[in-house]
């Protein structure tokens, strides 16, 4: 049985010096691929380099909504350069209206550009949405069904919206937040997601899960994904192996166009 971490940040300065160890521990834990998302122009190169050094690291390039204020005049060209140079997905991109002083119009403009690129280049897209659900739904309705696959990372919306997102072709991704004993809303959302539409992620090095034997550092890493799957499956009353296999198959479908050697290289699970 194998796992795919559908959203993490291996370029992060808190963990970058330990990537060989992190990759090793992920492999031992049967985490086959890690989808590592850049967040701004100045970590595109590092994300690209990681994917060259480790075939288990699948890169995504994008501007995170927290960092839209830092974009350069050439951000569109830089983004397109990396997307064309590497077998890669798009992201992390999206909308985050948690900070009321953020430039929402700029976030929308940057996010819509990423969505347009995903359609044009037919790449999977890794989306971050926090407290911006109405605007996101408005954009989806305007653009129509995505011709490419995409995921909403560490889903924090209501269970009621899930079927709508699924009709737009999106997958719903669940992180260690589902292991929080008080996370009733997230557990309800996981229950509501279709069997063919949920995937799992760590958001490494953040969202450290509630583990029975937590690490002192509290820096999350992909090797924790099976433990997240174990707790999540128990919380929705599904058998661990079936749950994990389904999440794995869903991630393969979602990211099949950027897998090394595409689906031919699928491991037997
Ligand atoms: Zn993230």
Q: What is the pLDDT of residues 190-216, one digit of tens each?
A: 999 999 999 999 999 999 998 877 777
Domain ranges (residues) in the chain = 3-265
pLDDT at 146: 77
CA 138 distance to own-chain centroid: 22
Is residue 75 helix, strand or coil? helix
Split at pLDDT 50, 70, 90, the class of 261 is confident
Q: How far is the CA of 241 from the centre of ligand 1 (A)?
A: 26
Do 27 and 194 meet the contact criterion of CB atoms below 8 Å apart?
Answer: no
- The residues facing 127 across adjacent strands are 93, 152
Q: What is the DSSP letter of 9?
A: -
**What does the pLDDT read at residue 267?**
41
Indicate whether 251 pLDDT > 90: yes
Q: What is the structure's pLDDT at 213?
A: 76
pLDDT higher than 70, residue 269: no
Distance from the alpha carbon of residue 203 to the mean position of ligand 1, in angstroms? 5
Residue pLDDT, tens place only, 128-139 = 999 999 999 999
Has residue 219 got a pLDDT over 90? Answer: yes
Q: Give me the helices (H) in 29-132, please.
A: 44-53, 75-85, 104-121
| Predicted confidence (pLDDT) per residue in 1-43, tens digit | 999 999 999 999 999 999 999 999 999 999 999 999 999 999 9
CATH fold of the domain at 3-265: TIM Barrel (3.20.20)
The predicted pLDDT at position 266 comes to 41
What is the pLDDT, as a whole number, of residue 124? 97
Contact 35, 3 (CB under 8 A): no
Query: How confident is the prediction for the chain on average, in pLDDT?
Result: 94
pLDDT value at residue 216: 75
Q: How many angstroms does the Cα of residue 7 sit away from the middle of ligand 1?
A: 6
pLDDT band at 262 (very low <50, low <70, confident <90, very high): low
The 10s digit of each residue's pLDDT in 52-96 is: 999 999 999 999 999 999 999 999 999 999 999 999 999 999 999
Measured in Å, residue 143 CA sits from the centre of ligand 1 at 24
Q: Ligand 1 centroid vs 37 CA: distance in angstroms?
A: 7
pTM: 0.94
Taking the centre of ligand 1 as the mean of its atom positions, its distance from the CA of residue 173, in whole angstroms, is 11
């Amino acid at each position: 049985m194998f796992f795919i971490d559908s959203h993490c940040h291996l370029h992060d300065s808190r963990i970058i010096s330990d990537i060989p160890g992190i990759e090793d521990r992920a492999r031992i834990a049967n985490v086959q691929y890690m989808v590592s998302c850049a967040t701004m122009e100045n970590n595109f190169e590092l994300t690209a380099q990681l994917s060259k050094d480790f075939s288990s690291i699948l890169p995504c390039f994008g501007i995170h909504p927290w960092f839209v204020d830092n974009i350069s005049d050439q951000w569109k060209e830089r983004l397109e350069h990396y997307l064309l140079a590497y077998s890669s997905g798009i992201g992390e991109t999206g909308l985050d209206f948690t900070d009321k002083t953020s430039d929402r119009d700029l976030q929308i403009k940057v996010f819509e550009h990423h969505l347009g690129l995903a359609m044009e280049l037919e790449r999977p897209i890794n989306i971050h949405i926090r407290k911006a659900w109405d605007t996101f739904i408005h954009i989806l309705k305007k653009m129509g069904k995505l011709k490419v696959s995409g995921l909403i990372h560490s889903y924090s919306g209501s269970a009621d919206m899930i079927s709508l997102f699924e009709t737009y072709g999106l997958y719903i991704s669940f992180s260690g937040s589902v292991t929080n004993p008080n996370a009733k809303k997230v557990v309800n959302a996981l229950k509501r997601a279709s069997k063919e539409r949920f995937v799992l992620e760590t958001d490494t090095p953040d969202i450290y899960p509630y583990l029975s034997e937590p690490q002192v550092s509290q820096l999350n890493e992909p090797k924790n994904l099976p433990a997240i799957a174990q707790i999540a499956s128990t919380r929705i009353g599904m058998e661990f192996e079936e749950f994990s296999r389904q999440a794995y198959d869903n991630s393969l479908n979602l990211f099949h166009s950027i897998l090394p050697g595409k689906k031919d290289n699928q491991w037997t699970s």
